[in-house]
Amino acid sequence: MTAGHRLQDAGYDTTLITEFDPLMDADAFLASLAGKYDALICDYLLSSHGRVGFTGAEVVSKANLRSGAPLPSVLISSHIKPGQQGAISRWRKGIPQVVAKADLDEEILPAIGYTLAELKGSYTRERRAFPTPIEVLEVVAKGEARRARVVVVGWNIHAPVWMPLDPILEETGLRPESLVGQWLEADVNCYASKAEDLYYGNIILSPDFPQTGMPA
């Protein structure tokens, strides 16, 4: 049974959106959907439909995190390239699950259920976030995927991961060149099984350590 049939059997009427206003950003796109739909299923890559000013990751995350009137949204993707993975990580907090297109038929309804549960405040162990120290080891500030190599202490004491750089800069006010050696703190879903499933909220400079990092 296809995903479309499963959605219809579950009581959803489906509408396919294939045209986007190239001048519209994700917020405006979401505003255009307001009140019309009960759920949104969005491909990561929308540019096959012409020039689009946002990715599916951004729109899904913003839809789920919209205060007051979230629109339950599921991100689907076929093959995630390394650069795209960074873009998804940037928005991962609002993406409860990334459904592979190959699994769409089986996974779409559970994914909607998973999203609805999270919007009601019921997080699985793998998605529940709590404060953890983060040690910054390296910063890549150039190129499409700006990122920092960090150790998320609460996730894996040993293995560094790549963390999106822009949220760190936006939330701490630091410059990229001053980040290496710093200790940050963020709310992270530390029981995530894979690094790409981590998300970061409330990023601050850790008050527990001098800003030059831990003493050697």
Site for another protein, rule CB under 8 A: 125, 128, 130-133, 135, 151, 153-158, 183, 185, 190-191, 206-209, 214
Smallest gap from residue 144 Cβ to another protein (A):
30
Which CB atom, from 19 or from 208, has the smaller least distance to another protein?
208
For another protein, give the closer residue by CB, 18 or 193. Answer: 193
- For another protein, the closer CB: 39 or 188: 188
Question: Cβ 176 to another protein, closest distance in Å?
Answer: 22
Within its chain, how far is the Cα of 65 from the centroid? 10
Comparison of 53 and 133: residue with beta carbon closer to another protein: 133
Minimum distance from residue 191 beta carbon to another protein (Å): 7
CB of 154 to another protein, least distance (A): 4
